[in-house]
Amino acid sequence: MMEKICVIGLGYIGLPTAAIFAKAGYEILGVDVNEKAINLINEGKIHIEEVGLPEVVKEVVLSGNLRASKTVEEADVFIISVPTPIHEDHTANVDYVTSATESILPYIKKGNVVIVESTIPPRTIDDVVAPLFEKSGWNVKEDIYLAHCPERVLPGRILIELVENTRIVGGYTPEAAHQAAEVYRKIVTGDVIETQAVTAEMSKLMENTYRDVNISLANELAKISAELGVNTLDVIKLANRHPRVNIHTPGPGVGGHCLAVDPYFIIEKAPELSPLIATARKINNSMPAFVLDCVKKLVNSGGKIAVLGLTYKGNIDDVRESPAMEIVSLLSEHNFQVSVHDPHVNQNQVFFPLHNFKDAISGAECILVLTDHNEFNELDEKCIVMNMRRPIILDTKDCVKTYNDSIVYYNFNNLYDVINNKIETLI
């Protein structure tokens, strides 16, 4: 067993990764630039929301297997797990990966395993990371074992999937792939597959691109169905009864640091050869404006909208690339009064005030559901009827169960009247 692992980046992936390795008995040093996060972790606490993570972090910090620092130290294995955002032109920003790599260079020893878990464009290991080591005097094919092992976990199940999911380990050399794979085989019960670095890079991107394209098909179907008077959700449910069909569900857009970002990493490398991927991105990016149009046909400008949910998926606290954040901005720009409630988001994550449920809906003319948190499955219908100016729900996530005849409910199954201005409740 490798004695010490240094994890660079203690965010939504890095911290759970560090915790899982620490629980398996490794000595783990977690490194991050966020001093507040470091202090919390060293107290056995966490700065993000993930099921089961608080208990594991507390356990491994108390055992001495995990500690956090702003400073890198020598280790046997280095795992880089930092963000890769996109520039305004949708090209990848690999500055964090570059900085993280440069931060470990003074501490590298011959025989070290260096693994980049960050999602990166194809050929980043070959064209960006490896040259940094070469420039520092290392022979990357002989002195160290450089590899890419992309994370492929679902928020809310990260601790489970880090262990159970198949891992794809792409090495700069075949031996690097093997050495990096051996690190994961100590904790992973699923398959650990060895391949080339560029293949691993592209496989991760295509996993999320497949889903993004599928969602764009559902979103385009939702727009067409609203125009024609077709029940979108019923169509999808029936089409999916075919044994080889799996249409995803429509929604207010696509968010998160994977589906809304990864396809661009492919597009930038081959823009003329990726029209389908680019079109899917445009369709999904158009959904916030589509939601705004629906709201404008339900409520006059100046009316109050109660937004429920800011995160890009249910039961997490992650607002990165969330379409809900864009929709809130669009509503404000079009002179709506916007009141937001999200039980999973802290005030310091957003630039506008958050409210409790009753305050958010009081005087509102429409509840706009943008995230499928469990808390929104059963809303207080008595509170809605008593406190809203008009009890209307526009549910873009098909998660709210309503039983009160006094509440007007819309989802992607019945938008025809909204789109075509045939709603009786329109003022």
Per-residue pLDDT of 126-148, as tens digits, reads 999 999 999 999 999 999 999 99
In a domain, 226, yes or no: no
Residue closest to 119 by CA, chosen among 89, 91, 81, 147: 81
Helix, coil or strand: residue 114: strand
Q: 141 and 252 share a domain?
A: no
Q: What is the residue range of 176's domain?
A: 4-198
Residue closest to 317 by CA, chosen among 99, 141, 156, 163: 156
Examine the pLDDT at 418 and tell me if it is beyond 90: no
Residues 50 and 136: their CA atoms lie apart, in Å, by: 38
CB atoms within 10 A of CB 197: 28
Name the catalytic one among 6, 23, 149, 204: 204
* Confidence tier at 393 by pLDDT (50, 70, 90): very high
CATH number for the domain spanning 149: value is 3.40.50.720
Q: What pLDDT shows up at residue 425? A: 44
* Confidence tier at 256 by pLDDT (50, 70, 90): confident
Sheet with 145-148: strands ordered across: 66-69, 27-31, 4-8, 77-80, 113-116, 145-148, 167-171, 192-196
Give the ranges where 28-171 is alpha helix by DSSP (H): 35-42, 53-63, 95-104, 124, 130-135, 158-164
Check: pTM over 0.85? Answer yes or no.
yes
Q: 180 and 288 share a domain?
A: no
Answer with the one of 198, 220, 250 that is the final residue of a domain.
198
Which of 79-83, 102-106, 419-423 has the lowest average pLDDT? 419-423
Q: 279 and 410 share a domain?
A: yes
Count of structural domains within the chain: 2
Q: 178 and 311 share a domain?
A: no
Q: For this structure, is 258 an active site residue?
A: yes
Q: 330 and 379 share a domain?
A: yes
Q: 154 and 275 share a domain?
A: no
In a domain, 218, yes or no: no
* Confidence tier at 419 by pLDDT (50, 70, 90): confident
pLDDT over 70 for what percent of the chain?
A: 98
- Each residue's pLDDT tens digit, 200-247: 999 999 999 999 999 999 999 999 999 999 999 999 999 999 999 999
- Each residue's pLDDT tens digit, 9-46: 999 999 999 999 999 999 999 999 999 999 999 999 99
DSSP code of 127?
I
Q: 267 and 155 share a domain?
A: no
Name the catalytic one among 258, 294, 366, 399: 258
Q: 88 and 153 share a domain?
A: yes
Q: What pLDDT shows up at residue 420? A: 78
- Each residue's pLDDT tens digit, 42-67: 999 999 989 999 999 999 999 999 99
In a domain, 221, yes or no: no
Residues 319 and 346: their CA atoms lie apart, in Å, by: 10
In a domain, 215, yes or no: no
Q: 249 and 137 share a domain?
A: no
Examine the pLDDT at 423 and tell me if it is beyond 60: no
Q: For this structure, is 36 an active site residue?
A: no
Q: 194 and 238 share a domain?
A: no
